[in-house]
Amino acid sequence: MVDERGGYSGLWLTQLDFGGAQLEAIPYVGAQRALAPDLRLDAVLSGYIYDANVFGRNADYSEVSLALDWRRLLGVRFAAAFDSYGGAATTPSAELTARYPLTDVCDLVASGGFDHLAHATTYDVGWWSAGVRYFIGRHLVADLRYLDQLYVNEIH
C-alpha cells in the first residue's frame, strides 16, 4: 500500500572494547513511509550511549539517518552523527544492506558501510557484517551478525 507508514522504536546493545568502554547502548526512534509499492523511506533518530568515557572523554552522541529500502531486499542509508565520540565534529556515514528471505520469518542479511570519523577519532572506518535475522513476533526481531571493520585514512 503506497500510504503505508508508521513509527517504531527500539534498543540495540553491543559489547565492545573501545577506548575504555565495554558496552554501547543505542536507543532509537523512527518513522517510515511507503513512497511507492516497492520503495520505503525511513527516518531515524538514535542515541549512542557508552558505559564509560572513550579515550578520556564523554563519547555519547546522537545521530539522524535517512534510508531507502527497495522491496525489503536492498537498502541504502545515509547518516550524520553530531559531536561524535565527544570530538565536537559532525561525522557522515553511508551503508548498503542486502537481504535474502529464507522463510516468512527468517532472513540472511549482509551490510557494508563507511564512517567518516577522522575528525572525531583520528581514523575513518570501513565495515561489513553478515548474519541472520529472525522475526520472533510482530514487534520483536532477533538479529545475530558477525561484524568486522578496517581502520582507514588514519591520522597520526
pLDDT at 127 > cutoff 70: yes
Long-range contacts of 99-103 (CB under 8 A, 24+ apart): 99/72, 99/73, 99/74, 99/75, 99/133, 100/73, 101/73, 102/132
Q: Identify the pLDDT of residue 156.
A: 54
| Window from 27-36, 81-90, 121-130, 131-140 with minimum mean pLDDT | 81-90
The mean of the pLDDT values for the chain is: 90
pLDDT at residue 2 greater than cutoff 60: no
Residue 13: is it exposed, middle or buried by C-beta count within 10 angstroms (0-12/13-18/19+)?
exposed
Q: What is the pLDDT of residues 51-71, one digit of tens each?
A: 999 878 898 999 999 999 999
Sequence-ordered list of residues with C-beta below 8 angstroms from that of 103, at least 6 positions apart, any chain? none
In this predicted structure, what is the pLDDT of residue 5? 65
Amino acid 3: pLDDT: 40
In the block, which residue shows the cell 514487534? Answer: 139
What pLDDT score was predicted for residue 130?
Answer: 98
> Which tops the pLDDT comparison, 150 or 67?
67
Q: Tell me, what's the pLDDT at 104?
A: 93
CB atoms within 10 A of CB 91: 23
pLDDT for 155 beyond 70: no
Q: What is the pLDDT of residue 1?
A: 32
